[in-house]
């Protein structure tokens, strides 16, 4: 399978991802952005110990969940909207919970998680004009449009609304992206949350956004 679809809007649909994960390439672990080893020390600053309930938003076939599990985080729930991916990951790592779910409409009660992690999922919604598997400087520029479409804005805002809803007071929504603050703050502003931004990397910068829910 050619990992770059003919139409970039395909990145928004289940069909592309199901086909991608059914392919030989899709069966192999893939980490967009940093590995757990590279961000472990930073995560430990914001995650209060190992005894927390973690929700991975758009988990994909990343190694992040398994690496965190092996490091002592044993209460991890992984969600993705591709049933093919969820079935595959469940067979590989049955000790964790894997659920087919849309990050814009979470099937969880309010205030049920301590930590939510998005490692590139929002970017996939924003990169309807690019290759989400291998972001180049041109892709980054496209993702940072001054005036994204109303549909893209609503998708991103829906993810954040749901994230805040299911977070417990004091909980954190941690988002790793290549999107600069000028282009991402618009989605990460909430009346009941504070926001911190950290710049990572050297030649190619990444950003870690941490939203903390108030009481």
Contact of 201 with 179, CB cutoff 8 Å? no
Name residue 172's beta-bridge partners.
115, 212
Name residue 198's beta-bridge partners.
208
Q: What is the CATH number of domain 8-213?
A: 3.40.50.150
Q: Which helix (H) or strand (E) holds 100?
A: strand 97-100
Determine the distance from the C-alpha atom of residue 70 to the mean position of all C-alpha atoms in its chain, rounded to a whole number.
Answer: 20
- Alpha-carbon span 143 to 184, nearest angstrom: 10
Taking residues 124-136, report their average pLDDT: 56
The fraction of the chain above a pLDDT of 70, given in percent, is 75
Instruction: Considering only the C-alpha atoms of the chain, give the largest distance between any 2 of them, rounded to a whole number of Å.
Output: 48
Domain boundaries, the chain: 8-213
Token pair belonging to 41: 């020390």
Taking residues 75-102, report their average pLDDT: 95
Q: How many H-runs (helices) and E-runs (strands) does the chain carry?
A: 8, 7
pLDDT for 202 equals 74
Contact of 93 with 61, CB cutoff 8 Å? no
Instruction: Please enumerate in sequence order all residues whose Cβ is within 8 A of that of 186, keeping only pairs 6 or more positions apart, or say none.
Output: 153
pTM (2 decimals)? 0.82
Contact of 114 with 171, CB cutoff 8 Å? yes
Taking residues 181-196, report their average pLDDT: 93
pLDDT for 159 equals 97
Taking residues 193-209, report their average pLDDT: 89
- Alpha-carbon span 191 to 203, nearest angstrom: 34
Mean pLDDT across the chain = 84
* Nearest residue to 205 (alpha-carbon basis) of 178, 175, 174, 183: 178
Residue 11 clears pLDDT 80, i.e. is over it: no
Residue 32 clears pLDDT 80, i.e. is over it: no
Least trusted range by pLDDT, from 79-83, 199-203, 204-208: 199-203
Taking residues 29-33, report their average pLDDT: 65
Contact of 3 with 31, CB cutoff 8 Å? no
| Between residues 93 and 1, the one the model is more confident about | 93
Name residue 149's beta-bridge partners.
none
């Amino acid at each position: 399978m050619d990992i770059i679809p003919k139409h970039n809007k395909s990145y928004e649909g289940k069909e592309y991802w199901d086909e991608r994960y059914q392919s030989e390439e899709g069966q192999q672990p893939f980490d967009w952005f940093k590995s757990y080893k590279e961000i472990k020390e930073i995560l430990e600053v914001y995650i209060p110990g190992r005894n927390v309930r973690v929700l991975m938003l758009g988990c994909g076939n990343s190694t992040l969940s398994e690496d965190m599990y092996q490091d002592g985080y044993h209460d991890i729930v992984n969600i993705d909207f591709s049933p093919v991916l969820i079935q595959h990951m469940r067979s590989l790592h049955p000790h964790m919970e894997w659920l087919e779910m849309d990050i814009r409409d979470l099937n969880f009660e309010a205030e049920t998680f301590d930590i939510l992690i998005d490692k590139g999922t929002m970017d996939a919604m924003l990169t309807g004009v690019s290759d989400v598997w291998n972001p180049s400087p041109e892709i980054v520029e496209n993702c940072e449009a001054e005036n994204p479409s109303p549909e893209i804005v609503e998708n991103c805002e829906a993810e954040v609304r749901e994230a805040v809803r299911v977070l417990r007071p004091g909980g954190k929504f941690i988002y790793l992206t290549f999107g600069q603050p000028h282009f991402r703050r618009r989605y990460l502003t909430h009346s009941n949350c504070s926001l911190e931004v950290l710049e990572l990397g050297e030649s190619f910068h990444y950003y870690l956004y941490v939203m903390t829910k108030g009481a």
